[in-house]
Structure 1
Amino acid sequence: MAKWGQGDPRWIVEERADATNVNNWHWTERDASKWSKEKLTELFTNIKVGDERGQCEIYEVKEMNGEASASNRKAKLIFFYEWDVKLKWKGTLKDCTTELEGTISMPNLSDENGVDDVNIDISTNTATPESNTLREVMKSKGIPVLRQKIGDYTKALKKEFSQGMILPSKAQDSSPVNTSDAKKSSLPEPVPVKKTDTDSSASQMKGLNLGVKIDTRKLELSEEFKCESAMLYLAFTEVDRLQAFTQAKATLNAEAGGKFTMLDGNISGEFVSLEPHSKIVMKWRFKSWDEGHHSLVTLQFNQKADCTELLLTQKGIPKADYERTRHGWHTVFFQRIKGTFGYGASLF
């Protein structure tokens, strides 16, 4: 092997732009949440639509909850986003100066849904014939524009935000390697290496499939517990209770952005949002998963007359771990919570 600095052209790591991540093999991830909020706000405001019945304008983002990220693995970009968006709109009927207002809700704007699959619900602040007419204007003229804006967001996420995530390979470095000293050397000529797609900038970009997803699955479970929702909520947000039923070491900081570990570090993640006694959203991963890959877990606590119904949704589970994850929720979480705290039937 040639020593560092001897100039043997077969050893070019110090000259590669991607020396820290050769051929983009390792997982890298970039948080796109802040960028996405700014982009969606730009796209979803100052939208004016109308017809012969009246004119409407979407003028403000009332609420936007969720997250987005872009990841690079083996020179492929993977995009994750999930948003719950509420917009404010206003309008006037033809030959009328009275301004009416309403709300637009898009609760499932995510990478799992195509543009035409996103739910867009239009409501008015008053139940009058005039407001219902304007609502129909917004539905017929506004929804197609909003779907176009959603498509603009996904395109921008994949092209604008992800720029620079694919590191240039040696072939993309325009500085030629000085081989004059090598030719004078007594070392044998390097054996030619067959070109691959990663050796050519043009070939690499041509073969790059923006938006390729990891093969993942979505898990949905429901379970009833004989307790109030507040008590069940504490089982997931107080470390002593969590360690009691899992019978393993855990750490947690139950606030938005707070980190957690469970089962002696085999599960880790971050709380995205918490609604006391009602809902928990968290980024969640097994230790064995590819570095940087998280699923999104939502726990919804529904208080009923005689029990609490827990609705669990987990998105982004690698296909190979789907059954292990489903089984783990039932045995390590649901059954042990019931057995430890008396919130259901005994395990035996």
Structure 2
Amino acid sequence: MAKWGQGDPRWIVEQRADATNVNNWHWTERDASSWSTDKLKELFMAVRVESEEGSCEVTEVSKVEGEASINNRKGKLIFFYEWNIKLDWTGTSKSGVKFKGHVEIPNLSDENDPSEVDIRVTLVKDQPDTKLMALMKKEGSERIRTAVADYISTLKTEFTQGMILPTANGVKELVQEPKVPCNSQKAVPKSTPRSSQPAGVKIPTCKISLKETFLTSPEELYRIFLTPELVQAFTHSAAVLEPDKGGKFQLLDGSVTGEFLELIPDRKIAMKWRFKSWPAGHQAEITLLFHDKGGETDLQLDGVGVPSSEEAMTKEGWRRHYFEAIRQTFGFGARLF
């Protein structure tokens, strides 16, 4: 597989006036510490669990010490975070008796999966024993791990915007949607054909097939392909898409355009798909099939109608600008076949 930046130039997004650091080839860094502190407090303060014994909730985030940053080197995003966190929780029994305790998370870092995070739940000294302690240790800890996972996911999606591909004056260029009458449906930009040649141009075509395994669920992987913010995160450029049958999409600053033909949640995405260098009006049909392998997802790509002269470039483009980019952005380890 070609290294980032060494692939076919037709896939490289152009029109970057700020040539001092084109495509962020040199090392760039963004401090995520302040944002992370606020996000962690917001997520932990929402933790609350209930049972027949009563309820427990986080009442204060008393300590958030550490740092977080995102680094970009040669188009690869590298995430670093390390936190020492202390929470205060209050349990209320069915009879109205209150109990207070602490939660310590001594090492929340990029080296550990959320399921491996050490969570220590204790009662304040001199507090009597209570069955609410077991509730907080089990269900409470699970909710805290969910909050940790939400933090990591948000850090790798929302906070990465703008890390790649600066434009003139350092401002990221966005695809502008055309204005439409207020009583009409939201319009999605369409690619402008380069000639009046009709669709379905007769040229030599071929089939392509790719397979890759991602260490995530079909639900999560499916969502990444259809959520504009997540698509922008792994393509490192503006993306416009309407995730419904018949909906149009435009990626990589217009280099890729198409239309969704069939969407079966968590199982299948079928679409018309074309690259801008193809003959005007010609589209291939690409199908993505998501197979649940219990903690892993096999993703099968089948394509028909790909111009024969573009076979190698199309395969390499999907590998680098979709599959490899998703791994780098969201941390889903994968094995290529």
Q: Pick the TM interval, shorter chain.
A: 0.3 to 0.5
TM-score by length of structure 1 reads 0.47
Q: With CA pairs under 8 Å and 6+ residues apart, which has the higher RCO, 1 or 2?
A: 2
TM-score by length of structure 2 reads 0.48
Q: Greater share of helix residues, 1 or 2?
A: 1
